[in-house]
Structure 1
Amino acid sequence: MSGAPVIRTVLGDLDPSQLGVLDYHEHLFQSSPLLAGEELSDEALSGREAGFLHDAGVDAMIEATPTGLGRDVEAVARISARLGLSVVHTTGAHHSGHYAQGERLLALSVGALAERFTADIASGFLRQDGSPATAPDGGPVRAGLTKAGIRYWAINGFEYRVLEASAATSTRTGCAVMVHLDHGSGAHEVLDILDRHGVPAGRVCLAHIDRNLDPGLHTSLAERGAFLGYDGVARHREAPDSAILDCMEKVAAAGAARSILLGGDVARASRYRAYGGIPGLDYLPTRFLPRLVERIGSELVQLVTVQNGARLLTLPG
């Protein structure tokens, strides 16, 4: 590769210094058997919800919906263009529980998965008819990172293949790998698997690590270089926001603020204001971020919300 490093958005490549405040984990379009009745499928409503996020001071987001779960990359590109919100889209695949029995994706080999994921980043997404997906300016819509997922302390054959294929995609393109961890489990194990396939921990984002609020664990993962994806705010049945703040403060105090990423992962129609629910995507910047500033200070929050995301998403030139 040659040239300057870039961040790959759905509207083209961006200088990393231009990314701004990042929400590292959201979904504008999504459908899954595990979330029946919670589908995000309306471009006007999803665009309105994204507007709430942007109006609250978020400059960029990762659209974390991977292959086969109702993603609409061309609609995401149109929303991005209308709002001026930078969007980095994932490729990859989720854990097998998110797919219906008989889904063809589940039978693909590592090689076939890696070829598909790599193409999404290098040349662009394809429509269902095999033609290229296009942005409003006619250019390709490309992914900027890849995704894998595991169940609660369980990694089946498909999930191993997706991890291996995501590793191959990362080594070919330089992209980061986001990994969904059910309840924050299996974090070191996932890092070990990816490392064996050539991906250092510094190119891995561990999503949902705050579903296990263990600052000692988080610090040990950060010491390996991994990014820590905190995205459990406004899930008060599982843990109050104060518990997440406590954990983040301890991790930052241990010198690991450089590893923290922050997102909402709201991901359900019943929680999107535009779809008639609450609290909405803007809960993160309007309700949680001010409390985080009080805890760790504006300088570290700038590190968490701006600098860390740019490092995660930067592709080599």
Structure 2
Amino acid sequence: MVTSAPEKVRTVLGDINPADLGVCDAHDHLFLRSPQLPGQELDSVDAAAEELAAFRAAGGVSVVQWTPHGMGRHAERLPELSGATGVRIVAATGLHQAAHYTPESLERLRAQGLAELFVRELTEGIGHSGVRAGLIKVAGGFHGLDGHARWTMTAAAEAHRATGAPIAVHLELGTAALDVLDLLCGELAVAPHRVILGHLNRFPDLALHHQAAEAGALLAFDGPSRAHHATDWRMPDAVRSLADAGFGDRLLLGGDTTTAGARSVCGGPGMPHLLRGVRPRLERAVGAELTELMLTVNAGRAFGVAWR
């Protein structure tokens, strides 16, 4: 009789049971660097430690960092930060949109093999850090997928098949979710429950949300609105609509802190906002039970893998 391996969440300090993930920020960044965000780099270890401590003080237990390859992950610093603050951290491999990289770096990745890089970072470690990634992060475009997105998602699907790792997708302003599912789950045969669609709060189209949930994907509502988007007030309605339709077990919450000024220790909402602002707002709108499910059980289900 063949028995499958138990599902584990791959943190920077080792694999843990999904139930041990606790209250989880399912999409955030401790470190991030991009030419698209000059002068706003998340590169301070001290600030990252302070932010994690503030998140822990607000009741947080785990953070999933979606920062992919080539964007200043500082993987080698993550274990000490996790140990010092008591916050579990999950790191990512993967690749963002082409705009975040130089043409030369992308050519090097094409030459060395992108899927091979993802598999190595998931199973052996990121660079020489020994820290293994626990998910693959890729990105779509605005209302569509360009050649770069198709290349990275094809590599992500190959790495998923080799390892079991979940695939987390940055949806540009919340768009192109169905295009992503057509590619990943249709053409590339990735199981839908292994795909996490990010930023759906930025595109509050309830019909599209229901289509994505019906397809079997996980839906992440991650990051407070920018001032000119003003979508926060619609997010509880989306959550309620999806839960009423039976999809409450597919919903995730995250903070998505992407700039230094957005950190709570720098005057922004930061990681604690998820628990001090978003959680009570959702509890009032949809109840404490569903909110807790999104922050704990669903996160464990999303990132728990029978690793190969």
Whether contact under 8 Å (1:110, 1:162) holds in the other structure is: no
**1:104–1:111 distance in 2 versus 1, CA, 3 Å:** closer
8 Å Cα contact 2:32-2:71 kept in structure 1: yes
Give the corresponding residue for 2:272: 282
Structure 2, unmatched stretches of 5+, are none
Q: Any residues of structure 2 matched to 1:221-236 within 5 Å, and which?
A: 221-236=212-227
SS at match of 1:267: coil
CA distance in 2 between partners of 1:109 and 1:267 (Å)? 27
Contact persistence 2:145–2:180 (CA under 8 A): no
Rounded Cα–Cα distance in structure 2 between residues aligned with 1:54 and 1:69:
25
After TM superposition, list the pairs within 5 Å mapping 1:31-180 onto structure 2.
31-100=33-102, 102-106=103-107, 108-109=109-110, 112-126=113-127, 132-133=128-129, 140-180=130-170
Which of 289, 299, 308 lines up with 2:298 in the alignment? Answer: 308
The 2-side partners of 1:180 and 1:80 are apart by 25
CA distance in 2, matches of 1:105, 1:14: 33
Take 1:209 and 1:99, find their aligned partners in 2: how far apart are those partners? 25
Distance 1:246 1:179 in 2: 23
TM-score between both structures, scaled by the size of structure 1: 0.91
- The code of the aligned residue for 1:25 comes to H
3-state DSSP class of the match of 1:103? helix
Contact kept, 8 Å, 1:213 with 1:244, in 2: the verdict is yes
Q: How does 1:229-248 map to 2 (within 5 A)?
A: 229-248=220-239
Q: CA–CA distance in 1 between the matches of 2:174 and 2:146? A: 17
Q: Secondary structure of 1:148's partner?
A: strand
Distance verdict in 2 for CA 1:177–1:106, change over 3 Å: farther
Please tell me whether the aligned partners of residues 114 and 166 of structure 1 are also in contact (alpha carbons under 8 angstroms): yes
C-alpha displacement of 1:74: 1.3
- 1:193: which partner in 2? 183
SS at structure 1 position matched to 2:189? coil
SS of the counterpart of 1:193?
helix
Q: Distance in 1 between matches of 2:141 and 2:281?
A: 31
Q: How many residues align?
A: 304
Corresponding position: 1:295 with 2:285 = yes
Structure 1 contact 179–204 (Cα < 8 Å) conserved: yes
Q: Is the 8 A contact 1:96 1:106 kept in 2?
A: no
Cα displacement (A) at 1:110: 8.9
Taking a change above 3 Å as real, the CA distance of residues 146 and 110 of structure 1, as seen in their structure-2 partners, is: farther
The change in CA–CA distance for 1:5 and 1:110 in structure 2 (over 3 A counts) is: farther
For residues 38 and 311 of structure 1, the distance between their equivalents in structure 2, rounded to whole angstroms, comes to 33
Structure 2 vs 1, CA of residues 106 and 204 (structure 1 numbering), >3 Å: closer, same or farther?
farther
Q: How far is 1:105 from its partner?
A: 2.6
Question: What secondary structure does 1:29 align onto?
Answer: coil
| AA at the equivalent of 1:181 | L
Q: Hey, what does 1:137 align to over in structure 2? A: none
103 and 80 in structure 1: CA distance in 2 versus 1, 3 angstrom threshold:
farther
Deviation per residue, 1:269-317 (Å, 9 max, x gap): 111132x231222111001101111111121112211111111111115
Comparing 230-239 with 173-182, which one deviates more in the overlay? 230-239
CA contact (8 A) 1:40 1:268 kept: yes
Deviation at 1:198, TM superposition (A): 2.3
Percent identity, aligned pairs only, is 36
Q: Distance in 1 between matches of 2:27 and 2:104?
A: 25
Deviations 1:145-168 (A, max 9, x none): 101112202322222111000001
- Quick one: distance in 2 between partners of 1:188 and 1:107? 30
SS in 2 for 1:266: coil
- List alignment gaps of at least 5 residues for structure 1: 127-131, 134-139
Deviates more, 1:207-216 or 1:109-118: 109-118
- TM-score, structure 2 as length reference: 0.94
1:171–1:198 CA contact under 8 A, matched in 2: no
